[in-house]
Amino acid sequence: MRHEHRLRIGPVGFRIGSAWKAPVALLARLYAGYPGAGVPDFTVRLEPSRPWRRHLRPSVAIGGDFILPDAAPLPLAHALLAAEMGMNLQMALGARRWLLLHAAAVARDGRALLITGHSGAGKSTLAALLGERGWRLMGDEFALVDLADGRIHGFPRLISLKNGAIDALAGEVGEARLGPLLAGTPKGAIRHLRPRDEAIAAMGETARPALILFPRYGFARAVRPMGEAEIFVRLTQASTNYVALGEAGFRALAGLVRRVPALAIDYPDTAAALDLVARAWDGRGAG
């Protein structure tokens, strides 16, 4: 590949190769200060979907160690999104050292709060807001559960702010921490947010999980405790590699569910969500 950027995010090293210079320069700016990856765990390649598409209406296909053969290429202006999707894909399909949960994670005093739920539940927005309000952002996309001791590994990639969340955060953080506005992506408008420097500096520190929240956005405020079997089943659905890990995944997930309380929270707006999170954290599952 003509251009390349290597970086380590938490315990995972990536090499991102690109046929174009601009996406790599943008990655280098937004991921400035992240450690380099000597021997990367995963490679992502941004390459023209057809040879002539490097110059003519350039179009980016996501390549790498693991690929989705049917993934549609993206316009070059969305190459940053392609790189982030490529990194997600490597983790979702390739990671075997941890139980991967599709969840945001933030930490306080060495204890982690996991926020999971369906797409649109508000994981990224909540994690981004909490990350600006005294919590250490550990990741907005994947929580990495250690298979041996159940602790959570930080994976603080760029936060993918979508649609309404862009305005909610853009007013609080400086332009220097934001990527370009990517309009008209398959997920609507997206802007990437660089985590705070403190979160990046602390990304190697693991945290003990203390609470799991399953938020739903767009409903009247409500809190519901969840039984262990329901938590277990919901988390198997939220995991990208539970089946692949076999018994190790079962033991890690059963242990997590046994030790960590969980609440389903419904919220009508972000102010209510932040209040619910604060109360849930103080009560640690008592509601």
Under the rule (CB under 8 A), what is the footprint of another protein? 227-229, 231-233, 236, 243, 246-247, 250-251, 254, 257-258
Q: Which is nearer to another protein, 188 or 287 (CB)?
A: 287
Q: Which is nearer to another protein, 32 or 233 (CB)?
A: 233
Largest CA distance in the chain: 59
Q: How many residues does the chain have?
A: 287
Side chain identity, residue 158: L
Question: Considering the complex, what minimum distance in angstroms separates the CB of residue 249 from another protein?
Answer: 9
Question: Considering the complex, what minimum distance in angstroms separates the CB of residue 260 from another protein?
Answer: 13
Q: Is the dihedral of CA 69, 72, 76, 80 positive or negative?
A: negative
b/e string for 7-26 if b means 16 or more Cβ within 10 A? bbbbbbbbbbbbbbeebbeb
Q: Which is nearer to another protein, 32 or 254 (CB)?
A: 254
Question: Considering the complex, what minimum distance in angstroms separates the CB of residue 32 from another protein?
Answer: 42
Q: Which is nearer to another protein, 171 or 246 (CB)?
A: 246
Q: Is the dihedral of CA 45, 49, 51, 56 positive or negative?
A: negative
Q: Which is nearer to another protein, 232 or 281 (CB)?
A: 232
Which residues lie across from 18 on neighbouring strands?
3, 46
Whose structure tokens read 């290597």?
6
Q: Which is nearer to another protein, 236 or 270 (CB)?
A: 236
Question: Considering the complex, what minimum distance in angstroms separates the CB of residue 82 from another protein?
Answer: 33
Question: Considering the complex, what minimum distance in angstroms separates the CB of residue 246 from another protein?
Answer: 5
Q: Which is nearer to another protein, 76 or 231 (CB)?
A: 231
Question: Considering the complex, what minimum distance in angstroms separates the CB of residue 255 from another protein?
Answer: 8
Question: Considering the complex, what minimum distance in angstroms separates the CB of residue 11 from another protein?
Answer: 26
Question: Considering the complex, what minimum distance in angstroms separates the CB of residue 207 from another protein?
Answer: 23
Instruction: Please compute, for residue 47, the number of CA atoms within 13 A of its CA located in the half-sphere on the CB side.
Output: 11
Q: Which is nearer to another protein, 68 or 243 (CB)?
A: 243
